[in-house]
A and B are shown apart, each in its own frame.
Chain A
């Protein structure tokens, strides 16, 4: 019964449309017979002002302060906006601010301890109330509240306080001289939320405010109509958006779920969706999908680097949870990966060009740096890694006393070079794993591969043994990047103290547990070094320390890669900020 009813309804629609068109024709006819002959043109197809976006990792909340996942940050960027963001060239552009404060225009104080933002006049929230400096101050205090596990903490490093000087001026004070004070409220990671809406959601109540977290009121081009956690979000245009005539699109549907290959197919082959995010798919599959002619690839090289993280602590499964993969002030070293010769040999054996060809094609490039961009920060000291040298690797291992045993696996004092190598489940990653396994086999290193579902691996659940923070393996592989163009906060994450462990609920960020006193000192130096040659050199030196110590082995510089339907215009891939940063300009 239901299905008959439905099909009957579906058929009725075209009939109605025909009726309307003939009505229109009759109206025209009433104007005069001459005009009909001249002006009759076939009716234009109805303009499609709806865009379907596919994120194969589903969005769980619209409040990026409570998640920190790329998918949440990017979905929220349709609704809530920061004071400034980065454009597709990595340049900072004002959004809710009237301009970018600098030392030249007096926005940044002479002693570099304060930054003063002037806000745009006449910006209103989607509910009609004016946007003021109080909202900015509220947002800052919301994230810095001690009881909130704010995921944007890093952007607020060294912040002492916020102050609304008047309705449209905000001052952020730092506890140290901050030559690059563009952490708070810059980029999609730290958008402004409405003080009125969230006033009862501070501290411990933050995660409980589901209505607010699922439907924040914003100043952005769209507003949330319906939010279904981990499934689909419907947006409609914010009619109070500050730029007249924008957004061009009237409605947006953002759907989550599936995997990279199926979402690429939905845009490129079947045309069900207009935009699909993060296509980590084998190049030959992408090429073949592109042949269908329904869509195109948009990509931009930002700072995404697929890397191997080498565990510096003992991850042996026979160790209990009180020792396994814990730094313990360096008293728990890895049985063989703590030997720098072994780490260097592992890096030397890898033919990165082959990894790019097999898994990435035009969407990846060989890199020898963990900070590959922007050019001012990209070191040139490590280019040797571009040519693999297994013979040198073998020589190094021989020299360090690791000699091949009867099974071809090198060993010293009963310790075999046998590596457990984990990553998330994705066919490109498993391909890379298999290739690296074979490369290591050639220098006498045995590898066992393990893949873990991405939801678990990146899920950060402190109770799970399989997260990338726990790192119960010898080597792991994933991609990471930083927002904007300055790597200060990104690299500060690798100081010795940040090694994950129970003391920081396994939320530490120094995954390799590698420690270098020189690196830690340079982190402090970078924080107080102003833009200029010295800052760039300091950052490069930090990159070199990490790479030369082989705590992290950079493999592939990955482009942010998405697919768009051919009919969708105005998409500008932005690898420095939210990919959806200019959705108000998308049109057909």
Chain B
């Protein structure tokens, strides 16, 4: 009987927070398109190599600068490497680097930001070290880190895994500062709000206050910096590869494909268009997803 009543009155159906978020998110057209595009890209780079079985590093010197054809759907480069295979292989690396580095910098940035904003005695120390990191010239720092640890990691984990970990770590550790500053600012404002005072007055532990009341309310700036962080990480990786400090030169990533193709832009424009489009679409779709999530997560916006 009780079930009957609920079905008759769907408006009073109990909904979880995440169900609420999803319902709000669903109304954001841009975000939905973003999810679609992003899912397509991820599926393509994950499953594509099984459908298109050419080795991305194989040089078919007879088929240099080949145009679009059935065997090479995106043509080939000046050494006869298949562009589609390179795009798919490069996408795996670029997305993996982008996401892992973004997550690392997000965790670091949010952690430092929340601690600095919430606990006054940590504020000075943490924010000064943030300033210190901001003041460091990044590229020289990256060069030094890579110079120092490249050989050790290469020997321990092999050239690809070793350099992947190193690059992710290096990008993550040098890009958390903006997030930390923004989060700290928000936390400072939120911890003076009534609901936090209320929570404190009933004896909620600090840990719970941070997790239940503060973090959800700083979600939107975190989302925004996360989406920007992915783009930043993909581009930093390609700059490092270009300087010869990233992956080996025959190891395709989107950034490297773009750099290598730049000189061939008028002979084989596809070499620039596809990686460029892939980077732009990834960044754009992630931005839209972030935008939609922010709106959906913000209780004030969700209500309207």
Q: Give every chain B residue within 8 A of A431 (Cβ-Cβ).
A: 78-79
Q: Give every chain A residue within 8 A of B79 (Cβ-Cβ).
A: 358, 431, 434-435
Q: How far is the CB of B239 from chain A (nearest CB, A)?
A: 12
The reply to whether A317 and B155 contact each other, CB–CB distance below 8 Å, is yes
Q: Give every chain A residue within 8 A of B58 (Cβ-Cβ).
A: 438
Number of A residues near B (Cβ < 8 Å) is 30
Q: Give every chain A residue within 8 A of B266 (Cβ-Cβ).
A: 288
B56-99 interface bits toward A, Cβ cutoff 8 Å, 1 = contact, 0 = none: 01110100110000000000001101000000000000000000
The reply to whether A284 and B78 contact each other, CB–CB distance below 8 Å, is yes
Complex Cα distance, B64 from A431, in Å, reads 12
Is B51 positioned at the interface, with any CB of A under 8 Å from its CB? no
Is B216 positioned at the interface, with any CB of A under 8 Å from its CB? no
Is A339 positioned at the interface, with any CB of B under 8 Å from its CB? no
Q: Do A450 and B244 contact each other (CB < 8 Å), given the known contacts A434-B57, A434-B59, A438-B59?
A: yes
The reply to whether A285 and B263 contact each other, CB–CB distance below 8 Å, is yes
Q: Which among B79, B147, B242 has the greatest number of chain A C-beta atoms within 10 A? A: B79
Q: Which chain B residue shows the least CB distance to A437? A: B250
Complex Cα distance, B248 from A318, in Å, reads 20
Is A528 positioned at the interface, with any CB of B under 8 Å from its CB? no
Q: Which chain B residue shows the least CB distance to A324? A: B151
Complex Cα distance, B242 from A261, in Å, reads 15
Q: How far is the CB of A325 from chain B (nearest CB, A)?
A: 12
Complex Cα distance, B156 from A155, in Å, reads 46
Q: Which chain B residue shows the least CB distance to A454? A: B244
Q: Give every chain A residue within 8 A of B242 (Cβ-Cβ).
A: 425
The reply to whether B249 and A430 contact each other, CB–CB distance below 8 Å, is yes
Is A93 positioned at the interface, with any CB of B under 8 Å from its CB? no
Is B152 positioned at the interface, with any CB of A under 8 Å from its CB? yes
Complex Cα distance, B264 from A431, in Å, reads 13
B246-280 interface bits toward A, Cβ cutoff 8 Å, 1 = contact, 0 = none: 00111000000000100110110000000000000
Is A465 positioned at the interface, with any CB of B under 8 Å from its CB? yes
The reply to whether B78 and A425 contact each other, CB–CB distance below 8 Å, is no
Q: Give every chain B residue within 8 A of A285 (Cβ-Cβ).
A: 263-264, 267
Is A201 positioned at the interface, with any CB of B under 8 Å from its CB? no
Q: Which among B58, B59, B147, B244 has the greatest number of chain A C-beta atoms within 10 A? A: B244
Is B154 positioned at the interface, with any CB of A under 8 Å from its CB? yes
Q: Which of A421-453 contact B (CB under 8 A)?
A: 425, 427, 430-431, 433-435, 437-438, 448-453
With contacts A288-B267, A450-B248 known, what are 13 further pairs, Cβ within 8 A?
A: A284-B264, A285-B263, A317-B151, A358-B78, A425-B242, A434-B57, A438-B59, A449-B249, A450-B244, A451-B244, A453-B243, A465-B147, A472-B151
Interface residues of A (CB under 8 A from B): 261, 281-282, 284-285, 288, 317-318, 354, 357-358, 425, 427, 430-431, 433-435, 437-438, 448-453, 464-466, 472
Cross-chain pairs A/B with CB under 8 angstroms, 20 sampled: A281-B263, A284-B65, A284-B78, A284-B267, A317-B152, A357-B61, A358-B64, A358-B78, A358-B79, A431-B79, A434-B57, A434-B250, A435-B59, A437-B250, A438-B58, A448-B248, A449-B250, A451-B244, A464-B147, A472-B151
Interface residues of B (CB under 8 A from A): 57-59, 61, 64-65, 78-79, 81, 147, 151-152, 154-155, 159, 242-244, 248-250, 260, 263-264, 266-267
User: Considering the complex of A and B, which 7 residue pairs feature the smallest CB-CB distances, nearest first?
Assistant: A317-B151, A451-B244, A430-B249, A449-B248, A261-B263, A452-B244, A451-B249
